[in-house]
Structure 1
Amino acid sequence: MTVETVAYSGAILNTPACILGEGPTYDPHTGTAWWFDILGCKLVEYVLASDTATIHDLPEMGSVLARVDGERQVIATETGLHLRDIASGKLELITPIEADNTITRSNDGRVHACGALWFGTMGKKAEPGAGAIYHVARGVVATLFPDISIPNAICFSPDGSIAYFTDTADGRLMRVAIDPATALPVSEPMVFFDHRGGDGGLDGAVCDQDGVIWNARWGPGCVDAYSPEGKRIISLKVPAGKTTCPAFVGPNADRLLVTSASEGMSAEQLASDPGAGSTFLLEHPVKGRFEPDYIL
């Protein structure tokens, strides 16, 4: 199957560049996108309609945010899940996860339609096998997949019966059947797409209404679409080499917001990649879905 390559068309958002932009999500109740600068310990609050951003300092590295209700959010950090009061920004640790492990931090994650959260941890220096992927439901934590180096691409099929994930260091996008009522696996993971030996690394992903997976590829600067059958069908170019994660945004969830990183880049590399760390809104239309709320 031929992969359709689409030239970049979009806008750079009016937000500061990130060292490691990650974890974008969108709240349709307020028209607000949220994402993290993990290494900068920042949380970005961005209002699409006005193209304005508010930057919130965090006491530690965070990477995943989910809405709980109109007043509260939950965020995953290097010590576990924190309840965040939206008005004040106050954080309360509610579910410690690897809180005593100073080597690791949180990385990619997403809420399932049942209200459970999948999220991963990794070594702060990407130490091999230092992390894991967890399932958290109403405060109960289960380890799904241990010995993960760089957890990414966590997302779910529209009917909630399939979960996808990758260990970027391994290079294979995996799929696993799950119980739609609990988001717990009911089988062993299988290879969905083998990217080993390919250009760049598989990073964050979202799954649209048709079951198409939109995955950011770290390195070549693009967001790739994979059919439900596991075929790469579209590659959207993004003017930042280290693209990290897409999110469906807008009143109809029909646009892609994409974060990126400047982590580890020299002055010469930054000069040749001026979009590094910026956040982009792509013009290419998509059939996205809004994220479900996390249930406490």
Structure 2
Amino acid sequence: MSAPAVALVSNVRNRMGEGALWHPERHVLFWFDILGKELHWCNADGSGIGSHALEMTASAAVWIDSDTLLLAADDGFHRYSIRDRSFSLLAPLEADRPGNRSNDGRCDPWGRFWVGTMDRQAAPGRGALHMLGADLQPRCLKESLTIPNSIAFAPDRRHAYLSDSAEQTIFTLELDPESGEILDEHVFATTKGEQAVPDGSVVDSEGYLWNAQWDGWRVVRYRPDGKIDRIVELPVQRPTCPAFGGPDLRTLFVTSSREGLTASDLEKQPAAGGVFAFQADISGLPETPFRLTIAHTLPGGD
């Protein structure tokens, strides 16, 4: 199979690009610069780019409806109006851990927002995996993580994925297909012994996992059994988060980071921190919206 052509969609030069989300109703890509405290967006071809400076450190988002996102930030979960760019805090997150911030996140097939947290200095074991459901009461699913990433869900509703980048390992979480509760976990894939570190992931319509690999200059497509199916090389060292989008969900967008790179590194990869894209030969899955109760969707329901 020939390597796809990788294009630079947005040369934004984010310090820490993350949280790529294709909004299926607006047909717009959203993403964050975590360290730059910005929310960005653009059309599939890179046009219509915009940004919003944030007061908090935000890292991941899911969609509620055509005009509303739910953002995960260092202080909690915020409802964000795309139309007027206003925020309202719906639920706190780790108020007892002021040194932590949110990291990777995604909605599960049941419409619940899963979000990982981590210490700002990546201190070992201080992060966790949380889930926010329609009752707006965050629930901790897993403790003692360092850099949680790769939150993604298989189309069979029986498997989720989670990596701890500090361990260079992606785990499979076995789920109850009716309730979505975690039943078991095991190692799915590892990059131990390599420079590449598993970062964000997304699952395609065939149930294969696409993983962006920090310091690996690549995105790796893994088969459901954890074996490597293919590798797509990228022109930047630190890709962070993939998301399927475009009119047929066959465009894979990938955010990246320039944080920690030297002047010499940046001479070799001047577009580091940008958003890249390539055409895949398989479609992705539309992102599940967050399921709010009626009381929280009506005006004044905060």
Q: Which interval holds the TM-score relative to the shorter structure?
A: over 0.9
Per-residue CA distance 1:3-53 (angstroms, 9 max, x = gap): x7x646121113411000001010121110000000000000112256221
- Find the counterpart in structure 2 of residue 78 from structure 1: 74
- Find the counterpart in structure 1 of residue 133 from structure 2: 137
Conservation of the 8 A alpha-carbon contact between 2:9 and 2:46: no
Amino acid paired to 1:70: S
Conservation of the 8 A alpha-carbon contact between 1:10 and 1:282: yes
- Find the counterpart in structure 2 of residue 59 from structure 1: 55
Unaligned residue ranges in structure 1 (runs of 5+): none
Equivalent of residue 156 in structure 2, options 155, 159, 166? 159
Q: What stretches of structure 1 move > 3 A for 4+ residues in a row? A: none
- Find the counterpart in structure 2 of residue 233 from structure 1: 229
Give distance in 2, aligned partners of 1:50 and 1:205: 22
Give distance in 2, aligned partners of 1:47 and 1:194: 34
Conservation of the 8 A alpha-carbon contact between 2:212 and 2:219: yes
Amino acid paired to 2:152: C
- Find the counterpart in structure 1 of residue 167 from structure 2: 170
Q: CA deviation at 1:160?
A: 1.4
Per-residue CA distance 1:222-275 (angstroms, 9 max, x = gap): 000000111011000111000101100111111100000001112122112222
Where 1:174 maps in the other structure, the secondary structure is: strand
Where 2:264 maps in the other structure, the secondary structure is: helix
Unaligned residue ranges in structure 2 (runs of 5+): 293-302
- Find the counterpart in structure 1 of residue 298 from structure 2: none
Query: Which structure 2 residues correspond to residues 118-137 of structure 1 after superposition, within 5 A?
Result: 118-137=114-133
Give distance in 2, aligned partners of 1:15 and 1:241: 15
Larger CA deviation: 260-269 vs 201-210 = 260-269
Amino acid paired to 2:171: M
Where 1:93 maps in the other structure, the secondary structure is: strand
Larger CA deviation: 46-55 vs 169-178 = 46-55
TM-score norm. by structure 1 comes to 0.94
Give distance in 1, aligned partners of 2:112 and 2:177: 10
Give distance in 2, aligned partners of 1:200 and 1:50: 28
Q: CA deviation at 1:291?
A: 0.2
Q: CA deviation at 1:101?
A: 2.3
- Find the counterpart in structure 2 of residue 250 from structure 1: 246
Where 1:173 maps in the other structure, the secondary structure is: strand
- Find the counterpart in structure 2 of residue 179 from structure 1: 176
Equivalent of residue 14 in structure 2, options 18, 23, 28? 18
Where 1:9 maps in the other structure, the secondary structure is: coil
Amino acid paired to 2:269: D
Conservation of the 8 A alpha-carbon contact between 1:31 and 1:49: no
Where 2:266 maps in the other structure, the secondary structure is: helix
Give distance in 1, aligned partners of 2:10 and 2:243: 17
Where 2:252 maps in the other structure, the secondary structure is: strand
Aligned length: 291
Query: Which structure 2 residues correspond to residues 199-278 of structure 1 after superposition, within 5 A?
Result: 199-278=195-274
Give distance in 2, aligned partners of 1:50 and 1:152: 26
Equivalent of residue 106 in structure 1, options 81, 92, 102? 102
Per-residue CA distance 1:125-164 (angstroms, 9 max, x = gap): 1111111011211112221110110000110110211111
Where 1:188 maps in the other structure, the secondary structure is: strand
Q: CA deviation at 1:118?
A: 1.0
Give distance in 1, aligned partners of 2:11 and 2:55: 20
Q: What percentage of residue pairs aligned between the two structures are identical?
A: 33
Amino acid paired to 1:60: M
Give distance in 1, aligned partners of 2:154 and 2:37: 31
Give distance in 1, aligned partners of 2:20 and 2:122: 21
Q: RMSD of the TM alignment (CA)? A: 1.5
In 2 relative to 1, CA 62–258 (structure 1 residues): closer, same or farther, beyond 3 Å?
same
User: Does 1:280 find its partner at 2:276?
Assistant: yes
TM-score norm. by structure 2 comes to 0.92
Give distance in 1, aligned partners of 2:184 and 2:288: 25
Amino acid paired to 2:186: M
